[in-house]
């Protein structure tokens, strides 16, 4: 059982959520007697929007993540508040700085996140202006198969992992740290500041590593939508300050905020390869969370 738990936290949740959702959809299609509900919806979308690249690029790669991120923040914020009420079961990772969510911090985090989204919109418009084959998200009339979706999601996880790791490590060098410092203002991560970052940091270390795979793999826009949902959830969980069973381990990125010199990656693999992975002595529910960590921890990190 503990192996299953470790596997669940070592990988992006899409590996098991997407097949489950697909199974439910297939049952639904069978009950209402259609081939594919999603294909019917996609046909209707294409009837309405035609083949205009701008609608799909701006809609799916900007507007959708913006809405999804804020809805997800709301859902996880409620989860955090519920967990805070139950101190015994709570899996709070750091408690030293429990008053981090001051009105002042909340306000500056919200404003910064909105500014960063605006900057991404500008990047997308520039990208659109220089419209070329590379910047075209695929929007074929026929939706990709389940296997193609899973293949693209898994491959993109590797692209994201290494693109993010190297970009993030560069931002930790003495030349570039000044651009990344803002994200590290919160030593104890808090959910509202999940995307709190300087502009250059947000564009080059967050946005580009997360979206470059969409173009490299020539992903269908529908797969891109799924991908961006999972990235948003992963980022939020890394900053929520709690460990959530069956989700990618929150303590991994939490420790990066505390110590700065370890756990630079998104999913752990690049850190394992480069010997920069460490786990935390700050986890106060150490015994309880240990079995949920992707790899067993035999000794505390220095
Ligand atoms: Zn962070
Ligand atoms: Zn960092």
Query: Distance (Å, rounded) from C-alpha 117 to C-alpha 138?
Result: 23
Determine the pLDDT at residue 159: 96
State in Å: Cα 181 to ligand 2 middle: 8
Which residues face 138 on adjacent strands?
220
Neighbours of 259 (CB within 10 A): 16
Query: Distance (Å, rounded) from C-alpha 201 to C-alpha 222?
Result: 27
State in Å: Cα 28 to ligand 2 middle: 43
Tell me the ligand closest to 250's alpha carbon: 1
Kindly calculate the radius of gyration of the chain based on its CA atoms and give it in whole angstroms: 20
State in Å: Cα 179 to ligand 1 middle: 14
Question: Cα–Cα distances in Å, from 250 out to 5, 137, 163, 223?
Answer: 14, 31, 20, 25
State in Å: Cα 187 to ligand 2 middle: 10
State in Å: Cα 59 to ligand 2 middle: 29
- Which pLDDT tens digits describe the chain residue by residue (302 residues)? 566 666 666 667 777 788 899 999 999 999 999 999 999 999 999 999 887 777 887 888 888 989 999 999 999 888 888 877 766 555 677 666 556 778 888 898 889 999 999 998 888 888 777 765 556 678 889 999 999 999 999 999 999 999 999 999 999 999 999 999 999 988 778 888 888 999 999 999 999 999 999 989 999 999 999 999 989 988 998 888 877 766 766 777 888 888 888 889 988 889 889 988 876 555 555 455 555 565 554 444 44
State in Å: Cα 216 to ligand 1 middle: 25
Which residues face 220 on adjacent strands?
138
Query: Distance (Å, rounded) from C-alpha 300 to C-alpha 283?
Result: 10
- Tokens (6 digits) for 208: 């580009």
Block residue for tokens 């697909």:
22
Neighbours of 94 (CB within 10 A): 21
State in Å: Cα 224 to ligand 1 middle: 23
State in Å: Cα 36 to ligand 1 middle: 39
Tell me the ligand closest to 167's alpha carbon: 2
Continuous segment of H or E residues that includes residue 57 = helix 53-58
Query: Distance (Å, rounded) from C-alpha 35 to C-alpha 32?
Result: 9
Tell me the ligand closest to 180's alpha carbon: 2
Cα angle: 92, vertex 191, 1; to 5 degrees: 45
- End-to-end alpha carbon distance in the chain: 29
Question: Cα–Cα distances in Å, from 66 out to 115, 150, 245, 294?
Answer: 12, 24, 26, 30
CA 103 to chain CA centroid, nearest Å = 25
State in Å: Cα 238 to ligand 1 middle: 7
Tell me the ligand closest to 234's alpha carbon: 1
Of 152, 151, 130, the closest CA to residue 57 belongs to 130
State in Å: Cα 169 to ligand 2 middle: 7
Tell me the ligand closest to 177's alpha carbon: 2
Collapsing DSSP states into helix, strand and coil, what is residue 245? coil
Q: Residue 1: exposed, middle, or buried by beta-carbon count in 10 A (0-12, 13-18, 19+)?
A: exposed
State in Å: Cα 189 to ligand 1 middle: 7
State in Å: Cα 202 to ligand 2 middle: 11
Determine the pLDDT at residue 175: 95
Tell me the ligand closest to 262's alpha carbon: 2
Give residue limits of the domains in the chain. Answer: 2-290
State in Å: Cα 171 to ligand 2 middle: 7
Query: Distance (Å, rounded) from C-alpha 182 to C-alpha 74?
Result: 23
- Tokens (6 digits) for 199: 């502009």
């Amino acid at each position: 059982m503990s192996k299953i738990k470790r596997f669940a936290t070592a990988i992006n949740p899409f590996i098991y959520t997407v097949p489950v959702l697909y199974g439910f959809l297939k049952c639904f299609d069978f009950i209402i007697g259609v081939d594919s509900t999603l294909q019917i919806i996609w046909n209707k979308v294409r009837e309405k929007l035609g083949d205009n690249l701008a609608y799909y690029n701006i809609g799916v790669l900007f507007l959708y993540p913006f809405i999804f991120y804020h809805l997800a923040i709301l859902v996880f914020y409620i989860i955090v508040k519920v967990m805070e009420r139950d101190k015994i079961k709570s899996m709070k990772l750091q408690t030293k700085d429990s008053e981090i969510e001051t009105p002042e911090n909340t306000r500056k985090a919200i404003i910064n996140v909105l500014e960063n989204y605006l900057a991404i919109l500008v990047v997308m418009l520039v990208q659109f202006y220089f419209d070329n084959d590379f910047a075209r998200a695929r929007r074929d009339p026929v939706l990709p198969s389940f296997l193609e979706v899973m293949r693209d999601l898994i491959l993109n996880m590797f692209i994201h992992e290494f693109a993010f790791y190297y970009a993030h490590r560069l931002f930790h060098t003495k030349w570039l740290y000044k651009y990344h410092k803002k994200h590290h203002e919160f030593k104890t991560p808090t959910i509202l500041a999940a995307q709190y970052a300087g502009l250059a940091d947000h564009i080059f270390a967050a946005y580009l590593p997360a979206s470059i795979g969409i173009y490299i793999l020539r992903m269908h826009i529908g797969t891109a939508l799924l991908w961006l949902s999972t990235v948003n959830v992963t980022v939020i969980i890394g900053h929520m300050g709690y460990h959530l069973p069956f989700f990618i381990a929150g303590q991994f990125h939490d420790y990066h905020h505390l110590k700065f010199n370890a756990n630079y990656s998104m999913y752990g693999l690049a850190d394992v390869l480069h010997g920069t992975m460490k786990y935390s002595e700050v986890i106060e529910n150490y015994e309880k969370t240990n079995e949920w960590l992707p790899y067993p921890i035999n000794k505390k990190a220095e």
